[in-house]
Amino acid sequence: MNTRTRPLSLVAFAAGLVSALGGSPSDVGAQLANASATTLGQGGVAAATVRGFAALGANPAGLGMPGSGFSLAILPTQFRSGLNPVSLSDLALVEGTILTDAQRDEWLTEIAANGGQNGYLGLEVSGVSFTVGHFGIQLSTLAGASLNLDGGLAELVLFGNAGRTGEPREFTLTDTGADAFAVSTAGVSFAVPFSSDEMAVAVGATVKYSMGHKMAVVRDQGSVISSDPVAVQVALPVLHTSGASGWLHNGSGIGLDLGIQMERGDVAMGASVVNVFNTFAWDATTLTYRAGTASADIGSASSDFVEQPVSAAPAAILASVENLTFDPILSAGAAVRAGPVLTLSADVRRRFGEGIHGSRIPRSHAGLGAELSAGSVLSVQAGAAVITDGDQYSGGVSLGAGKFNLSVAGAVQRRDLGDTLLGMVAISVGGR
């Protein structure tokens, strides 16, 4: 049997990828969500300048600095999405058309160089982000899902079971896999100021408790699709939280963040360590394993998706779950008021380990940010950064009416892994 398939609606195929990701819509770079759109607008440059609720997930010392006090963010939401190396814009350009052999060949070359076709969706939402005096609390939820399709599977989708050459052969799914998670965190932050006539200094801490909701890990274990004769041997085992476990207490742990800020005249400096320690881990007693095997050839078919004990899972999948934790993040930065309306900032940040975010969130970040402010009515932010294997550009705007603010920001990360888009909107009182 030797046939070719030609995709007629590749945007529909992309929608299928999104569904496969688990339906979760992050920059989920830390354990507490980023509640400030202006921070994203400045490219995440925050160590020396955050105040109010913006300090809770970045540098708690900001609660003890001049300019902090009462602030409240109302359901600030940030999303992150990426589909690479063949992007949604690439798919949109050929929607409703028959893809040419040259275009399919170009895409497959890009997918092979990228190590597969991958996609990621993430979401950060803060249900409560509130500060008063030198004290603050935040309740936030992080959710993310990623999928990687092996180059062999991509070739099968693009060229059919005859493959790129037109000759029947075997296709493997060696690097195919998926992750999905949802975790909520409650954090209590406080700061102690040490101020004098010449300098303001504060140190701060955040104590966090995290609760795991849902998690799933899928890893290929030797799937093969043959073309002549036609035969399918799929082995995509999955380890996930069981339906009977509900949405609470499928994982837990505590963590600690520490920070310091100082300001003298028009110059400010700051540093923080997110997750000085963090004990979060998924509860193995709430997990279940499915072999995820299926085989089919002419005249016969079988499958095995029955729940089994976690002990039956392959070691590679067990190790992947153990790594779904939160990493330490070290940040340091400085800022200067360059005039009555302009503030310039610089920041460096490093995440240690892969953890729950894997390679989707850049491990290193060195950026510059700027904010141009016309009092409390209007402020505009911009930022640029060098990140792991690429760069990032961002911008934002905040509109104010009295103590109320509406802030919108966006960013694009361009990396060897592909482009990622970030966006955020926040309504707040007494802070931005």
pLDDT of residue 70: 93
**Is 407 among the domain residues?**
no
Question: Coil, strand, or helix at residue 38?
Answer: helix
DSSP state of 340: S
Mean pLDDT of 63-74: 92
**Is 372 among the domain residues?**
no
Cut 0.85: pTM above it: no
Strand partners, 240: 216, 288
Within 13 A of 90's CA, how many CA atoms are on the CB side? 18
CB 423 within 8 A of CB 78: yes
**Is 369 among the domain residues?**
no
pLDDT of residue 10: 34
**Is 356 among the domain residues?**
no
**Is 344 among the domain residues?**
no
**Is 423 among the domain residues?**
no
Q: How confident is residue 340, by pLDDT bands cut at 50, 70 and 90?
A: confident
Question: Coil, strand, or helix at residue 107?
Answer: helix
Mean pLDDT of 360-370: 88
Q: State the residue range of the domain holding 58.
A: 10-334
pLDDT of residue 46: 87
pLDDT of residue 252: 94
Nearest in space to 213 (alpha carbons), one of 263, 170, 236, 247: 247
% of residues, the chain, pLDDT over 70 = 91
Contacts of 426 (CB under 8 A, 6+ apart): 35, 36, 37, 73, 74, 76, 77, 405, 406, 407, 432
* 75-132 per-position pLDDT tens digit: 999 988 888 888 877 887 887 788 888 888 888 888 888 878 888 888 899 988 999 9
**Is 359 among the domain residues?**
no
**Is 354 among the domain residues?**
no
The count of structural domains within the chain is 1
CB 207 within 8 A of CB 136: no
